[in-house]
Amino acid sequence: MKTALLVIDVQMAFVEDDANGAERSNLAASDNIAKLLSEFRERGDKVVHIHHHGDDPSDPFNPQAPGSAVQPFAAPLDGEAVVIKHGGSGFVGTQLEQILRGAEVERLVVCGATANHCAESRTRNAGDLGFDTYYTSDGVWAYSVTGPDGVEHSAEQVHSVTLSTLHGEFATVVTTEQALAL
């Protein structure tokens, strides 16, 4: 079964969030993403990078903003597919599905940012489209959020709930080591 690694939104806007003191889960995510990239590249497996570009000039992910740049450790290499998205899912309004189907990919390993936003959206869509999808628990991270009811949820809580809601429904949640053993 052909496998592809989806590296989602590993962009500088998140480095800025971290530098500004945002509460973040899983500080080891970058190291695990780098390990996944290295192993997938070494094996010659498909790597697809998905980058968010916001349309609003004030959006930190606007292509003219420094936050839209890719974090250096996750920069695409020549020949690796890059998909630009303008919403939460890389499957909507892009060529992502065609790229994967054209390469006869059946299994996806998902990593990147953030656990409860774009990485989760991509995972749900992939499961709905019939891909055998694996979500790396330690290859994603989340930030704390405050709900519409004013309740604050820690980054660790958000991360844990995301893993819990995806596992067995849209994907199989695995560690980086488990993903590399597939």
Question: Which domains, and CATH codes, for the chain?
Answer: 2-180 (3.40.50.850)
If DSSP codes are grouped into helix, strand and coil, which group holds residue 176?
A: helix
176 or 182, higher pLDDT: 176
Does the pLDDT of residue 89 top 90, yes or no?
no
φ, ψ of residue 181 to 5 degrees: the values are -85, -5
The CA distance from 25 to 102, in Å, is 35
Distances (CA, A) of 131 to 10, 29, 118, 174: 22, 23, 17, 16
* pTM of structure: 0.96
In the prediction, which pLDDT does 80 show?
Answer: 98
